[in-house]
Structure 1
Amino acid sequence: MRQTSLKMVHELAKADPRVVFIGSDLGPDTLTEMRDEFPNRFFMEGISEQNVIGMAAGMALDGFIPYINTIATFLTRRSYEQVAVDLCLHDLPVRLIASGGGVVYAPLGPTHLAIEDIAIMRALPNMTVVAVADAEEMRRLMWATLDWPHPIYIRLAKGGDPVVTSPEDGFTLGKAILKRAPGDVLLVSTGVMLGPCLDAADLLDARGINCGVLHMHTVKPIDADALVDLAGKVRLIVTVEEHILTGGLGSAVLETLSDRLPGRIPPLRRISLPDAFPVKYGSQQEHHRLNGLTAPAIAQAVEKAAVEAVVEAAP
């Protein structure tokens, strides 16, 4: 996914002279073709994330569209004030390509795990927050970023993730994609959790539970119309995300439905990482297994929640 996004920066640079790339201490082989073709629009800075944000803001004020890439935790935590004041306050079209969203960097421990990035980025006025499902959807997203007038936070997964989207899905920032129509249950996912949710829906279908899947690639601005429409048709909503419980997709869905459907929200359950710093080193897959983010675990949680919802609804 990362390689696809960076190659797309080069493609966008060919299509639009406003596009520039800024990296922060990336490898020497990063975007070498763009560096050679557009040396005046390629910048590789050191470990200086706050400075990189300031550079991008200045370029955007001069009419450029900067695309920045570095590790998600450094791009969000380390330069949060600059993102808020330099980018969001002035509502500048800068694109933050954040490597290693969620627990991708599990072998490196908690300092490198971007488990709260969606929460802190969506808290900023004017910021758009996106997490696509696979490399093919990344291509469609990158074309959509070219003329988006606001800053965008793009959460990247590990890479090599299974392709679960298709060109027929299309892509529009702020518009969710209904991958599977719901029956009694609706799964709402973002990022790479779409794949496990689709697999979980298949498992649930075999158990007699018809489960829809809504891919919420844009967490902010969230597709409130799609949520409200589907919430009126189901008995249970379950959100799934590779992010802590606080402030992520589940929180955004709850807030939206509370505002738009006060007193009429169906039972809602949230599946996520716990609200805690992970203490185990290992792999992304291991963290998914430990935290119930695999397809079998999601199916089991949905089945349990569906039973509870029926009991709660009984007179």
Structure 2
Amino acid sequence: MPFTFTKTVHPISFSDLSGQEFERLVFATLLRMYAWHTLDWTGQTGSDGGRDIVGTRDDDYGNRITVVVACANWKSFTSTKGNSDIDKIVDGLGEIPHEVIVVAGKSVSAATKEKCQAHAKSRGITVSEVWSGSEFEERLRFHADSVFQRFFSGEELPDEASALRTFVQQLDPTTEREAGELIARLFDRPAFSTPIRSESNLPAFRQAIGDTIGALNTGIWRDREGAIITRISTRQSFTSVTVKDALAECVTALTGLRVIFDEGLRNNHIQPCQCGKADCPTFMIEHEYCERLENERSRVLNYADVALSELGSKKLSRHA
């Protein structure tokens, strides 16, 4: 039977959920939080070796990294249990993942988190996080309110990864803030955060601009290979004139950014690395074009921030 929930402001009692129900919520929340190349729910098979969810996505430098998530909806979360899951992940995966996230259904003390993170570091894991139940709930409500509303209104989520992925992709945001967070994800990548200098690492810069324009215009965000990452609200679908106008100006500025980049390439003011690798992300850029690209990109982010602020989302982070 599906779990039912009476709508109140009280914290969620994740202990009332089965292991699979908890993992479904974590999987759905992760789908809303990040732009994944792949995301697989392995826990449903029953023999996951501590790896309930495994995904790949780009880090801040455009490198593809492996992220492993362990769902720990236990009555009591201890560092011993958390460290045991970390060991299972490292020993069973065949390679050390870049990032490990352990998601608990209960409270987790700061000391316990520190012990688990120290153990993960000792096993060669670069980034590790432990989410307490309340921290997971905050992410669920913030990034995936549509999932939260459906699930706790009694609608069972699909129990197979691809079906659950499709279900989440097709869910319309239930709040303006959730819609804003999906748009904010478009700009959470190196093309919009890497400092532009005389030698810049800009992976798939031009394509990232085109993908963003396409997503804002059509509501479909695709990755470099053309696969759908997720669906978002189109810029035309918002009722707020402020949001519509800001996103329209954002698209215009994105187009201008692409024009400057193409002009620089055409006139050899921007030159790809001479290493011979077709997908090398390094570009040599003359000072004038560094300034032009930075200024136009700032316009893009400023217009996006106007829309996101109106939708109740945080401003986009800027590089130092």
Same-fold call, TM > 0.5?
A: no
| Greater per-residue strand proportion | 1
Between Structure 1 and Structure 2, whose CA radius of gyration is higher? 2
TM-score between the two structures when normalised by the length of structure 1: 0.31
- TM-score by length of structure 2 reads 0.31
Structure (1/2) with the larger helix percentage: 2
